[in-house]
Amino acid sequence: MVFTISVAGIIIRILAGFFRPGKNKRVKRMRKTRYNDYRWKEILRGSQLGVYPLRLVWILLLTLTGLSLGCSPKPPDISTCTRIEVRYTRGALIHFIPDTAGQNSLLSKEEKRYIKSFDTWTVTDQQLIKAFMYDVSQGTYHHNVRGTNTPGGVQVTCYRGSKRVASFMVYSMSITTEDKNVFMYSPGMPDLAILAPPGVKPLEARWKCALNLSKLLFEGLAHRPGRLYPDPNQWCDVIVEYLRSRNVSYTYLKDTPEYLRSDASIARMFACPSIHVSTVVSDARANLAKQKVLIWRSDYAMNPNCEPNSPPDTVLLFETKPGWNQHGGPELFTFDNHDPKGGCVLLNDGTLKFIRTKEELQQLRWK
């Protein structure tokens, strides 16, 4: 604080010296009069000209900015932390699979119980703690909030041995400390995926895989003219072109169109997250990564026998080996994309299922 004020004082002096009139008649007069009298007259004269007030406001703004930067609270220092306790305040199940229909159709009772067992858990992996520590340190002070914390956050408590170092609530792109200071972050930070229980990740990937099928239907296929499904030979191309056309923006500053949704984010809709693990930890960061070179492949196939007016339980999309515009029946289905083994299926009415056995596969309606 003292240092900041000193620096601000030096800046004011330098600026005052810089702006003080130099080689003109006023300086000559200044030598002949008492300094204080001169300053007041000059300020008044400057005011009439509208010059000095601007300079003074400018100097004041610089000083205040310097002071505010120097005094802003810093994100919690967890550099000495060796253990992190994570508590999902809404429960781990709703945190990782935020849809009750999805929980019931994709997970067994045992799997739901397993995820629930991580409502509170402890991270001791030092590399993961370092990665999270870096994320937390990147925050910028935003404001001090009053009252209770916003619901839905994840409580993170850091320890060094048995000593509690810091505790704060983590939200999407912000944290709130115990002092109620709010720090803001860029998208995807701080990345809670770093602290996710490893055993839960395959089940979360299953949910995200099913979510891909849902997006392909509701963001792509369902918007076809006349609500007809596209030619099965081109179904992937048709969805890509449709999504590109919906997310394009032309501005008067640029001749070329600007894609609001990157090709990378469209390509990810065709990729099973269980087998194509992103190098970027979180989805938010992955969406920001605008790759120039893409591999267009689809881990999903279409059932050509399914039309919009087919029975609601007819299979529409399902998991298969990588390809593009693949279409066919259960012979293309694969159980190998996921661990535990199985594959996701989307029915004509949007219902999602996770198929674990050949018997279950045969029971589905394909025509």
Residue 158, beta-bridge partner list: 84, 166
CB closer to Zn ion, 335 vs 366: 335
User: Judged by CB under 5 A, does residue 301 bind Zn ion?
Assistant: no
- Of 32-40, 108-116, 155-163, 274-282, the segment contacting Zn ion by CB under 5 A is 274-282
CB of 235 to Zn ion, least distance (A): 18
Phi and psi for 353 in degrees, rounded to 5? Answer: -140, 155
- Write out the two tokens for 23: 């080689």
Minimum distance, C-beta of residue 296 to Zn ion, in the bound complex (Å): 17
**Three-class SS of 277-339:** CCCCCCHHHHHHCCCCCCCCCEEEEECCCCCCCCCCCEEEEEEEEEECCCECCHHHECCCCCC
First to last CA, the chain: 74
Residue recorded with tokens 């860029």: 186
- Which lies closer to Zn ion via its Cβ, residue 135 or residue 319? 319
Q: Is 272 in the site for Zn ion (CB under 5 A)?
A: yes
In the complex, what is the shortest distance from the CB of residue 327 to Zn ion, in angstroms, rounded to a whole number? 18
Given candidates 59, 81, 209, 315, which one binds Zn ion under the rule CB under 5 A? 209
Distance CA 172, CA 157 (A): 17
Question: Taking CB under 5 A as the rule, which mask of x and - marks residues 326-355 in contact with Zn ion?
Answer: -----------x------------------
Tell whether residue 175 is a contact of Zn ion (CB under 5 A): no
Supply angle C-alpha 5, 10, 12, rounded to 5. Answer: 90
- Identity of the residue, 158 or 345, whose beta carbon is nearer to Zn ion in the bound complex: 345
Question: What is the nearest approach in angstroms of Zn ion to the Cβ of residue 332?
Answer: 14
Site residues, Zn ion (CB under 5 A): 209, 272, 274, 337
